[in-house]
Structures are given as structure tokens and as C-alpha cells.
Amino acid sequence: MLLIHCPCCGVDRPEIEFRHGGEAHIARPADPSALDDHQWADFLYMRSNPKGVTAERWRHVHGCGRFFNALRDTVSDRFLAVYRTGEPRPDLDAASTGMEGGK
């Protein structure tokens, strides 16, 4: 079973305690009424879906209940880093040299 490190609880927990929350670092437009339909649709629906490292939101829904962000490799399904909501995306070199959460 895939273990995910929760930065809030500070422990590794099984994947079933967590829920995926979509791509991270997508900011809601400050003034939605100023956007046209295409721009609004881009914000709502368009995601990068990369093959490789992606930043995602996860929620420890059957634990502390908190959202946090994680870097995950979509090819290997390995979690490279976890970090709290509001923190900047860690750079990949730091992540790949064994930050917490690498499973």
C-alpha cells in the first residue's frame, strides 16, 4: 500500500486515509467578472496533466482533515516531497535528494 507523509500529523499514513484534491497552485482570478468565457473555462477546467513531476493538493480526510501539497511523479507514483498549503513549491533538486515524504 502506498504510504503518504502528512506534514501536519508528521507520520506516514496509508493512501486510503487521503483524498486527492487536484492540481496545486491554481489561483482564483481576483476579478472573475473581468474574464471572458474562455479565460474562465481555462481557470475552471484546464490542467497541465504532465507526464512526470506534478504538484497536487491532497487532503488527510480520515486523519487530521488538513489539505497539503505534494510533489508526485505521475510515471512512478512516487511522492517526492510534501509541504504545507501556502508554502512555495519546493525545487526539484532539493526534493529528489531525499526530503521527507519520499516513499
Partner 1 sequence: MSETALYRPALADNQANAEVLARPGIKVTRAGPLARFVFRGDAAAAGKAGGAFGAALPVAPLAANAVGARAALWQGPDEWLLLARPEADGEQAVDMLARQLAGEVAAALGDTPHSLVDVSERNVALLVEGAGAADLLNAHVFLDLSPEAFPVGTATRTLFTKAEITLWRLGDEAFAIEVWRSFAPYVEGLLIEG
Interacting residue ranges for partner 1, rule: CB under 8 A: 1, 8-11, 13-14, 16-17, 62-66
CB of 47 to partner 1, least distance (A): 28
Ramachandran class of 74: left when φ > 0, alpha when ψ lies in -120 to 50, beta otherwise: alpha
The amino acid at 95? A
Alpha-carbon distance 46 to 57, whole Å? 16
Q: State which residue, 63 or 102, has the beta carbon closest to partner 1.
A: 63
Q: State which residue, 54 or 85, has the beta carbon closest to partner 1.
A: 85
CB of 48 to partner 1, least distance (A): 30
CB of 83 to partner 1, least distance (A): 15
Q: State which residue, 43 or 64, has the beta carbon closest to partner 1.
A: 64
- Enumerate the H helices of 1-103 as residue ranges: 37-45, 92-96
Neighbours of 24 (CB within 10 A): 18
Cβ–Cβ under 8 Å, residues 7 and 68: yes
CB of 36 to partner 1, least distance (A): 39
